């Protein structure tokens, strides 16, 4: 096995412990970035410029607010708010108002952390496919995962060509794993609903007890905290 900085997290997180190992990798990347934007280096000019222009999305703002480093957050929010105010002027001109509407409709959707995570994840989708082609032992490890959330499943398929000559085999593995994980989850959901029938009170829950939260992750991905 060739561990390197690019596939270390892949080897670490690809196991049967969750509904999507890519979500776990994403959570690690998000936490690192949140910490980075809360420490001193967030005050560097180039970072401040980017934060002023894009800001942080709701989710990442909440992650930052839940941590220490409120001074760094407040300082960044001041200059972000000032940038936004540059586009907000009192007007009775409907065209100006529509331009403001267009700008502010987008302003809460842009996020420096989301953008950075997206770029890193693109490298991971390619790395996972390349690791599949190059390292036999990873194939065995991949077969232990319980599928992926649907957004990450779609991305892995889109980057499957990075598996080169093994792309067909890689796609077959991904699709088989995903289908099995969805089928297993449907079984668990059925069992979960059957437990609401008093006649099944004594039937053990097995893996069905958390079928709903696992379904949420499967459908939408796991939210990092």
Which residues form the interface with Zn ion (CB under 5 A)?
A: 20, 22-23, 57, 60, 111, 113-114, 149, 152, 221
Q: Which of 16, 164 has the CB closer to Zn ion? A: 16
**What does the block give as tokens for 33?**
């970035």
Shortest distance, CB of residue 27 to Zn ion, whole angstroms? 9
d(CA 6, CA 11): 10
Shortest distance, CB of residue 91 to Zn ion, whole angstroms? 30
Shortest distance, CB of residue 152 to Zn ion, whole angstroms? 3
Shortest distance, CB of residue 114 to Zn ion, whole angstroms? 3
Q: Within 13 Å, how many C-alpha atoms sit on residue 214's CB side?
A: 23
**Phi-psi group of 48: left, alpha or beta (phi > 0 → left; psi -120 to 50 → alpha; rest → beta):** alpha
Shortest distance, CB of residue 23 to Zn ion, whole angstroms? 3
Q: Which of 35, 195 has the CB closer to Zn ion? A: 35
Q: Which of 37, 162 has the CB closer to Zn ion? A: 37
Shortest distance, CB of residue 217 to Zn ion, whole angstroms? 7
Q: Which of 22, 128 has the CB closer to Zn ion? A: 22
Q: Which of 57, 75 has the CB closer to Zn ion? A: 57
159 and 123 Cβ atoms separated by less than 8 Å? no
Question: How far apart are the two ends of the chain, measured CA to CA in Å?
Answer: 31
d(CA 82, CA 86): 6
Alpha carbon separation from 166 to 134, 152, 201 (Å, rounded): 9, 20, 48
d(CA 23, CA 190): 25
Rg of the chain over all Cα atoms, to the nearest angstrom: 22
Q: Which of 60, 191 has the CB closer to Zn ion? A: 60
């Amino acid at each position: 096995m060739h561990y390197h900085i690019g596939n270390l997290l892949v080897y670490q997180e690809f196991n049967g412990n969750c509904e999507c190992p890519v979500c776990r990798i994403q959570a690690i990347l998000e936490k690192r970035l949140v910490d980075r934007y809360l420490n001193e280096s967030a005050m560097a000019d180039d970072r401040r410029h980017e934060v002023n222009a894009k800001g942080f999305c709701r989710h990442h703002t909440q992650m930052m607010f839940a941590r220490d480093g409120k001074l760094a957050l407040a300082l960044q929010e001041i200059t972000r708010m000032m940038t936004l105010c540059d586009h907000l002027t009192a007007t009775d001109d409907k065209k100006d108002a529509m331009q403001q509407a267009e700008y502010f409709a987008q302003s809460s959707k842009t996020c420096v952390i989301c953008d950075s995570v997206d770029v890193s994840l693109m490298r991971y989708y390619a790395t996972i496919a390349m690791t599949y082609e190059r390292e036999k032992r990873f194939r065995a490890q991949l077969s232990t995962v319980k599928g992926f959330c649907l957004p990450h499943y779609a991305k892995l398929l889109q980057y499957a060509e990075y598996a080169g000559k093994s792309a067909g085999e890689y796609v077959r593995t991904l699709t088989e794993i995903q289908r099995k994980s969805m089928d297993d989850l449907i079984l668990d959901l059925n069992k979960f609903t059957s437990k609401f029938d008093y006649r099944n009170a004594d039937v053990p829950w097995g893996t069905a007890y958390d079928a709903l939260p696992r379904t949420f992750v499967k459908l939408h991905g796991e939210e990092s905290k």
